[in-house]
A and B are shown apart, each in its own frame.
Chain A
Amino acid sequence: DVKVTQSSRYLVKRTGEKVFLECVQDMDHENMFWYRQDPGLGLRLIYFSYDVKMKEKGDIPEGYSVSREKKERFSLILESASTNQTSMYLCASSLLASSTDTQYFGPGTRLTVL
């Protein structure tokens, strides 16, 4: 079974702090994704990576950056956290960059910025 893990289930940070959310997948997937989920807005794609050191912006990249130094690990970085970044953050992965595959999700990180 594919396993996608996220570094924390719950996180509380203060405004202005730098925040790192980490995601690891164990199935050698090429694609990795970061989403945020908010009530009434659904899931929105923040960033996507199809290979090591490669990234593409999603729908709402502002205020976020990402890093993919190893194939299995994809990090989301909030350079200076703000209260409007309080949300559920979901990481996902899928097998091949060149085809349409099922996305496998991690359990999510609920981030609260005070």
Chain B
Amino acid sequence: KQEVTQIPAALSVPEGENLVLNCSFTDSAIYNLQWFRQDPGKGLTSLLLIQSSQREQTSGRLNASLDKSSGRSTLYIAASQPGDSATYLCAAPFSGGYQKVTFGTGTKLQVIP
């Protein structure tokens, strides 16, 4: 079964800093990897989806990379803002499937003004 790990569990940075969130997964035969944002008490919002044939995806100040061989993905946030404060989760499909996914437990980010 796919296992997804996110370290650290929490991160606090000053506003304006560039930062990297890490995600590792055990089964490198994945179809895709997704990054989500979750605000307190709310559902998840999709940020980026990287297909297995891609190495990275960009959306505004966010850039996600995927290295299947090492079982790692990173989410880079440029010029962080207080509004970026949230929990960030990555998710990868179950081994042998592609619609059912395993989520990491998330990294809780706080951007201090």
Q: Do A and B come from one complex?
A: yes
Interface residues of A (CB under 8 A from B): 4, 31, 33, 35, 40-45, 48, 50, 56, 58, 90, 92, 94, 97, 99-108, 110
Residues in B whose Cβ lies below 8 Å from that of A103? 34, 44, 46, 91, 101
Main DSSP-derived SS at the B contact region? strand
| Contact count A vs B, C-beta below 8 Å | 58
Q: How far is the CB of A36 from chain B (nearest CB, A)?
A: 11
**How many chain B residues touch the partner (CB < 8 A)?**
23
How far apart are the CA atoms of A105 and B103 in the complex, in Å?
A: 14
Residues in A whose Cβ lies below 8 Å from that of B44? 43, 90, 92, 103, 105
* Chain B contacts with A in 29-45, Cβ cutoff 8 A: 31-32, 34, 36, 41-45
Q: How far is the CB of A90 from chain B (nearest CB, A)?
A: 6
Residues in B whose Cβ lies below 8 Å from that of A44? 103
Could you name 26 residue pairs across A and B whose Cβ atoms are closer than 8 Å? A41-B105, A42-B89, A42-B105, A42-B106, A43-B44, A43-B103, A45-B100, A48-B99, A48-B100, A50-B99, A90-B43, A92-B44, A94-B99, A97-B99, A100-B31, A100-B49, A100-B51, A100-B99, A102-B46, A103-B91, A104-B46, A105-B44, A105-B45, A106-B43, A108-B41, A108-B43
Are B100 and A58 in touch, CB under 8 angstroms? yes
Q: How far is the CB of B64 from chain A (nearest CB, A)?
A: 13
Main DSSP-derived SS at the A contact region? strand
Q: How far is the CB of A18 from chain B (nearest CB, A)?
A: 25
Residues in A whose Cβ lies below 8 Å from that of B103? 35, 42-44
| 4 more A-B residue pairs beyond the given contacts A100-B99, A102-B46, with a C-beta to C-beta distance below 8 A | A48-B99, A90-B43, A97-B99, A108-B41
How far apart are the CA atoms of A92 and B34 in the complex, in Å?
A: 14
Interface string of B5-30 (1 = CB under 8 A from A): 00000000000000000000000000
How far apart are the CA atoms of A24 and B103 in the complex, in Å?
A: 22
